[in-house]
Structure 1
């Protein structure tokens, strides 16, 4: 379409988008820094772990070594674990350290021991600069119940995380120490959820 054949509405639209593009290009020219991010996904809504696993798959797609430590989920099979361990085990180390949800174990000492073992594994994986991203899935739950010390976790991420390593922490009720430390915080909110209508968790949606 030539300028002569454009309607006034089309011309105004094109001019508006050209101004937006110019402003966007100027903004992007200023964004030149790179760093390993601390990312927190929290809130009562669904999608915290799902979003984090999406980022893990992006790392895999880019050939970037990464790792997952699951702090709560136990032996229950999940689609993300089957996919990553079955097809991308060379790029993504996967460690399921929890023994299931707290109401299933009903054993405080075991839950604390599992969380501590998960945190020790997490520190080992984060310290390895070869891992570009480490997902600490549902660590916020372990912190919420004081299975781990939030100040200890925040201090480690601040002082010992390699400069280019991304660390993602998921789970509702993220501690203030982690929200303050994080570079990126997303809070998932609930608008509607099928569980409230009597629909159980389903493969491909919840696990």
Structure 2
């Protein structure tokens, strides 16, 4: 047992030294463009996790929801009830596109959400702005992806993080992003007849 412990400790010490050497080279700080996409669950959930981290660190932040306006969510209820000053929350959508069935109205609401998002990103006091489900609006061409890319490249303050969620992220956005995570679907209870449930999906 002693020999095993000694070998383990020596191995971990070697790993730590290598890790410390790598970490010593990571000195830059910058505002990131972050994308959560893919067919798997957890894109918005992970993004809201970062929003709550910002709130916990006293970092002003904001949320714009592009699609989910038609339903109540736990994140929105919690933020509006307890952290409204630290994190303004704008629900600009009216529900998923197959529910509204009004393309012109969807475009109008998405454009309004994008205008609000730009104002929030340009506000230098906001350290993070979450654009929840903007990828859906971009997929259906309610917003021009070229305009979004140009804005993020040319006008985003250097220390502001912007998080974009939703399936089918545009390649143009992925190309300019600093951090991209694709959620992969392996199993989902919906396929077995289980409906969306509070605390899990919303």
TM-score normalized with structure 2 length:
0.99
* Residue among 134, 145, 148 paired with 1:150: 145
Query: Which residue matches 1:203?
Result: 198
The list of structure 1 runs, each at least 4 consecutive aligned residues, that deviate by more than 6 angstroms after superposition, is none
Q: In the alignment, what sits opposite 1:181?
A: 176
Matched, 1:60 2:41: no
User: What is the deviation of 1:75?
Assistant: 3.4
Tell me the residue number matched to 1:98.
93
2:88 match: secondary structure: strand
**Any residues of structure 2 matched to 1:103-114 within 5 Å, and which?**
103-114=98-109
Structure 1: distance between partners of 2:26 and 2:78: 34
> 1:68 aligns to what SS in structure 2?
strand
1:45 aligned to 2:40?
A: yes
Distance 2:70 2:100 in 1: 12
3-state SS in 1 of match to 2:81: helix
Point out the structure with max Rg over C-alpha. Answer: 1
1:115 aligns with 2:110: yes
Provide the C-alpha distance between the structure 1 equivalents of 2:183 and 2:176, rounded to a whole number of angstroms: 19
Over aligned residues, Cα RMSD in angstroms? 0.6
User: Structure 1: which 5+ residue stretches go unaligned?
Assistant: 1-5
State the shift of 1:15 in Å: 0.2
| 1:36 lines up with 2:31 in the alignment | yes
- My pick for the range that moved more, 69-78 or 134-143, is 69-78
The structure 1 residue matched to 2:154, chosen from 141, 146, 159, is 159
